[in-house]
Structure 1
């Protein structure tokens, strides 16, 4: 008996919806990821062609538990990790350079995370607030900073340094917990192949462990550097210099280690790599304890003034280093990318820069809101207050972040108006051609119905145009970031670029103040989204779309990013599919949306004997439309061709040019904004007309709806494809039946 094993896409679709059956039982797996079949006692367990229906539900790995909404706070880490997989298909030397630069950038993102907590706890609370009586007034919970044992400046810093310590410890705990849960699925390490076909591709556990130790070491060392940067210049004591030297060694060793193949090679690291990285993390913990102890020593009276010494410069220099890394990474990509690469091959730097922007916005937004609360004021910027009055204020570099946030919003609006509107008109014209070809004479019968279908087709095509618009937003924004970084390194604030009291100064002040409110709003919006995702399952599923797409790839750059669910899903699917193929008569691996990516990766991991008893049905697939464009080093023509080729049996013969494999069928629609044809020589692309008919069906009162990205399995063409693949597995035919509309233009010809 052939089994149709369905794999859902993003948002954690319930197994009942995947199979369109109300009563199911779990036959394998667990509550996070399980295999379900209809209950035999209620009937309805068979599908098209007499197949046994089975669904694999993996959604709880990403969007099922409410607590996972906390991962929203680590969006920058996820962006930094995805960036390493977005590289173009380049040579070995360029690939090594891109990986090294991305991993160093990911390390700096961990440092930025620590400095954000240092700013709030040590600078705003421990240094600035504790020195102002009006900040401590009527705030008993801050009394420990003004009286008793911890009343001295250095001890206040030691107490407030515990907040970043707890934040790092939480990251460490979270990293180890997810490491044990997601990356611990047992897989084989034997076999050959490369990329997605490599048997060790989904075995990220050892690499994540080594990278996590390095990031934790650098995190603690960053905190130590911030604390010693205040104490050492004041004390000028040999012990302080020794601690500072050890801190510098750990920071430098961490940066060098993430670039060494002996440490970060996934499959064959050096024997000393694991002990070395563990020693680094443990040494950093011990060092932090010594530094905090050093801060608690008795010192002469010491008055805190202005902002935390050297901290503003540290934040600015770190941001400058991150911008420089992105510029170098972009230069390497542009110099080595193949011709025709989407977004000029800059998808990786763009995504990494987005992560940096989110991190800066979150840090600046939270810092300004905490400063406003502590200082009991309404204006967040120092641009328009009396400078003779002492205030609690974040570093001046954050004012550039606030102004840049406003600039980014303005650029996005301008691009949407100047490029978006003409693009929409152009896509609508193309959509009319598709609609008129599918429903001849329909526009004359009902123009409003035709326009509705035009809109669906045009909206689906926007996916192919968004990348071009993003370039026009990010390139000017990147140039502005470079200029702003230069001004910040020179110690200039935005307000100082205009004459005092001038109209330009007033405008600049307004922009900065508006920006601080907007980035603060964005930070709180992120937290609010997490709260909604915690409370409401439907909203949690929407948030889950982001995680499903962003956490498909293993944690190869940032080990503290949200975990990779595919490191469990693909090996588990491969094991189940192999068993069904060998023991149950054959498998139709049926995937929708992101499930098609998982199914394709599973096919490449199957043993040859299981591949011979497996066929592939994909629908709403982003393999060509998204993955091949943005991840060309891992999903490309060769990989797509191989997916269909490995399914062929010896009796199928060798496929000639232009022939299609009888074992891989892909369904797609023009109204689907995510899926499309896979355009592989070993796959048969079947275009479905959507909606299924133009007019209201006899006996009905409403028009057939436009399904877009959903409802593929409810169409007759889906059942025909399944029945055809069953026939192929039984050896009775070489070609499954197809449903197509050759008169309609292909999506690949869209403007």
Structure 2
């Protein structure tokens, strides 16, 4: 039903949600200063402030022939993803985060549920192996490269180390202590949680547009910690393929292998054995590491188990990844009927198979970062004759070739494909509808060409790189170990890979250091953390805590507080990634609010990656039917500001756009439910309102002197400077679209209807 008619006490509360890291309260609310009015140090609710730092009212909204009072609030959640050394160091866990993201990319399978269980089990096994691979590579650098080789008696490496530390097992013991501290840190990371669950509304499993914390996360955390400890013990005992000849070592070796198999099986099942069993396993694994440390003895200043352990874990991860990719094919095919009839641009990426290359990329990045770390450590030690695991030669060759592949794709895309698209298509007809100046049309056309190409093909480039690296890894293993060949070009490509991996490790550590000192200095790192930290822990516990589990309930609670006042209408407005949070919040509120309060709720998104990115990458979480139901439950009070020049954002509620005789045609969600054909024409400001999407001109029209103006092609910035923002707020509040101040507009009379 439509929103109730406004009365004299009608006011609008606009709740703005920030997007990526680095957004200040002043930028979010478009004001000179703000003051906190609610929240905590992690999730702050701010309002504009006057000169005495008191909450001040926001600008009025012209609607229905009068000025409607507006209160503007902002929710800042960047404190959960940036600031401090610990949060900056989360960037080092990016491979783990990718494996966790892959879990949420799995297609929804309603038939053949055992296939879904198989895919989830293989994904969890791969996550455990990824943890073990990273720990083994760090152990190779600490125990073998530094402790066993660099600190060997009589070696001129780190000469400031006293001879007492170089003699006996003390150097190995210190290295093991550092590794135990690393495992403890990873275990503690998995215990960090921002989750806030309102009483009476527990999360439900398998419900679209509802994120849910995994109740088995404590068991998963213990599983990975035990696996990491077992990996250290196995490396000290000679590796998985070397059977010790002495009885004490043999007993420890058998126990360690049994522990590894147990944690892999437990990881696949995903069950929690309980607090007592978790503590017992952790204690047993720690004692195994201590026992193996006492028994460890370097041979010729090398730990003999390093190569076997790293190779075995890398090979196992490769096999499990291939099995996961194969198991995902029938799972994606079974889910295909759900989206077979939809437009190509609304179908899941790779037909629902995108989780496979994401997992492969996680493994490749994990292996590459470990190798790069060892290479960087050797460079810092200035001892080029220190031996690295033999497989690192293949890793450097692989990443050298991968760097070349990425360079070729970048050249083909940005130097060839984008200019060709621009030249072939000229000025898009939709740009001609919105812009009125020839130079503005040229500027907009260039930005449209690049942004449209990136939205359509960036995921293709990522898939090509991931699959290319996977094929290259398999080919290198066959050539190196199957035919025992080492072509001459290996040396050149390996040198490129050494440079790339060393730069990767050193650069990432440098970025982490900079971000720890000043979060504002590393927006790219924060943006990356924001994207991967959006999802709850499901496949890997060693990832940053999910901020959405805190933001969505707190936003919903704040909205309910405002809606308790009968004359208040609340508009949830989110910019870029904040739009996903507002959509999830609106979906939760639509299911919980009584009809009279739901009719006073509206939604506004700007620069949202919902349709081209999240909806296609995570089809089980954001299915099109659920989004259509949300649009219908809000009765069209879901408005979306869109720019064709915006690389990150795009259309949200409409698709299949085309122009004909000065009209913009397309399909989109309808207030009465589902979706259908839509049609519109530009208004005097060049804005095209098609369904819930407001396609705004970029660059902006000439300034009118009544509001703030921003010059140039704005792309993903300055949505608040667009005059259409206030118009969209009024429509989201159910007050119709203002025409001119003093002239009453109709209530949703301008919504295009099906033809």
Shift of 1:237: 3.5
Question: Could you tell me which residue of structure 1 aligns to residue 677 of structure 2?
Answer: none
Aligned equivalent of 1:497, options 477, 480, 486: 486
Aligned equivalent of 2:463, options 468, 471, 478: 471
Counterparts in 2 of 1:59-74, with a 5 A limit? Answer: 59-65=78-84, 67-74=86-93
Counterparts in 2 of 1:576-725, with a 5 A limit? Answer: 576-583=558-565, 585-606=568-589, 607-609=592-594, 610-647=597-634, 661-679=635-653, 681-682=669-670, 684-691=691-698, 693=700, 704-725=711-732
Shift of 1:516: 1.5
**Alpha-carbon distance between aligned partners in 2 of 1:231 and 1:405, rounded to the nearest angstrom:** 26
Q: 1:439 to 1:81 in 2, by over 3 A?
A: closer
**Alpha-carbon distance between aligned partners in 2 of 1:85 and 1:516, rounded to the nearest angstrom:** 33
2:547 equivalent to 1:565: yes
Counterparts in 2 of 1:23-422, with a 5 A limit? Answer: 23-39=33-49, 43-48=56-61, 49-65=68-84, 67-91=86-110, 92-131=113-152, 133-136=154-157, 139-141=159-161, 143-147=163-167, 151=168, 156-176=171-191, 178-179=192-193, 182-183=194-195, 188-190=200-202, 194-198=206-210, 201-204=211-214, 206-229=215-238, 236-260=245-269, 262-263=271-272, 272-295=273-296, 304-305=299-300, 307-337=302-332, 338=336, 340-374=347-381, 376-377=383-384, 391-422=385-416
Q: 1:234 to 1:414 in 2, by over 3 A?
A: closer
584-593 or 50-59, which moves further after superposition?
Answer: 584-593
Shift of 1:452: 1.9
**Alpha-carbon distance between aligned partners in 2 of 1:411 and 1:121, rounded to the nearest angstrom:** 32
If the length of structure 1 is used for normalisation, what is the TM-score?
Answer: 0.82
2:428 equivalent to 1:433: yes
Shift of 1:558: 1.0
Shift of 1:359: 1.8
Shift of 1:187: 5.1
Uncovered stretches (5+) of structure 2, i.e. residues with no partner: 1-10, 62-67, 341-346, 654-667, 672-690, 738-743
- Determine if contact 2:637/2:732 at 8 Å carries over to the other structure: yes
Name the SS for the 2:733 alignment partner.
helix
Shift of 1:488: 5.1
| Greater fraction of residues in strand | 2
Shift of 1:110: 0.8
**Alpha-carbon distance between aligned partners in 2 of 1:552 and 1:235, rounded to the nearest angstrom:** 46
Cα deviation, 1:609-647, whole Å, max 9, x if unaligned, reads 253432211221211111111111111211211222344
Counterparts in 2 of 1:437-456, with a 5 A limit? Answer: 437-438=432-433, 442-443=437-438, 446=439, 449-456=440-447
- Determine if contact 1:642/1:682 at 8 Å carries over to the other structure: no
Q: 1:239 to 1:460 in 2, by over 3 A?
A: same
Shift of 1:83: 1.2
2:536 equivalent to 1:554: yes
Q: 1:664 to 1:290 in 2, by over 3 A?
A: same
CA RMSD of aligned residues (A): 3.2
- Determine if contact 1:73/1:526 at 8 Å carries over to the other structure: yes
Q: 1:374 to 1:426 in 2, by over 3 A?
A: closer
Q: 1:508 to 1:536 in 2, by over 3 A?
A: same
Cα deviation, 1:290-337, whole Å, max 9, x if unaligned, reads 333455xxxxxx772274213212211211111122212222222331
Shift of 1:671: 1.3
Shift of 1:354: 2.0
Uncovered stretches (5+) of structure 1, i.e. residues with no partner: 264-271, 296-301, 378-390, 499-504, 648-660, 743-751
Shift of 1:394: 0.4
Q: 1:718 to 1:739 in 2, by over 3 A?
A: farther
Q: 1:471 to 1:578 in 2, by over 3 A?
A: same
If the length of structure 2 is used for normalisation, what is the TM-score?
Answer: 0.82
Cα deviation, 1:374-420, whole Å, max 9, x if unaligned, reads 5634xxxxxxxxxxxxx421011000000111100111222333454
Name the SS for the 1:36 alignment partner.
strand
- Determine if contact 1:435/1:450 at 8 Å carries over to the other structure: no
Question: Could you tell me which residue of structure 2 aligns to residue 527 of structure 1?
Answer: 509
Shift of 1:29: 0.4
Aligned equivalent of 2:449, options 452, 458, 472: 458
Q: 1:426 to 1:304 in 2, by over 3 A?
A: same
Shift of 1:262: 4.0
Cα deviation, 1:180-226, whole Å, max 9, x if unaligned, reads xx13655545476843444xx3334x332221111111111111111
Name the SS for the 1:2 alignment partner.
strand
- Determine if contact 2:643/2:697 at 8 Å carries over to the other structure: yes
**Alpha-carbon distance between aligned partners in 2 of 1:194 and 1:414, rounded to the nearest angstrom:** 41
- Determine if contact 1:431/1:457 at 8 Å carries over to the other structure: no
Shift of 1:38: 2.6
Q: 1:3 to 1:306 in 2, by over 3 A?
A: same
Q: 1:596 to 1:187 in 2, by over 3 A?
A: farther
**Alpha-carbon distance between aligned partners in 2 of 1:36 and 1:160, rounded to the nearest angstrom:** 47
Shift of 1:599: 0.8
**Alpha-carbon distance between aligned partners in 2 of 1:236 and 1:601, rounded to the nearest angstrom:** 59
**Alpha-carbon distance between aligned partners in 2 of 1:17 and 1:738, rounded to the nearest angstrom:** 31
Name the SS for the 1:670 alignment partner.
coil
Q: 1:491 to 1:104 in 2, by over 3 A?
A: farther
Count of matched residue pairs = 673
- Determine if contact 2:189/2:543 at 8 Å carries over to the other structure: no
Q: 1:430 to 1:549 in 2, by over 3 A?
A: farther
**Alpha-carbon distance between aligned partners in 2 of 1:695 and 1:24, rounded to the nearest angstrom:** 29
**Alpha-carbon distance between aligned partners in 2 of 1:191 and 1:497, rounded to the nearest angstrom:** 55
318-327 or 36-45, which moves further after superposition?
Answer: 36-45
Aligned equivalent of 2:500, options 508, 511, 518: 518
Question: Could you tell me which residue of structure 1 aligns to residue 32 of structure 2?
Answer: 22
Q: 1:216 to 1:90 in 2, by over 3 A?
A: same
- Determine if contact 2:576/2:609 at 8 Å carries over to the other structure: yes
| Greater fraction of residues in helix | 1
**Alpha-carbon distance between aligned partners in 2 of 1:77 and 1:303, rounded to the nearest angstrom:** 31
**Alpha-carbon distance between aligned partners in 1 of 2:434 and 2:26, rounded to the nearest angstrom:** 34
**Alpha-carbon distance between aligned partners in 2 of 1:59 and 1:319, rounded to the nearest angstrom:** 35
Shift of 1:602: 1.0
19-28 or 543-552, which moves further after superposition?
Answer: 19-28
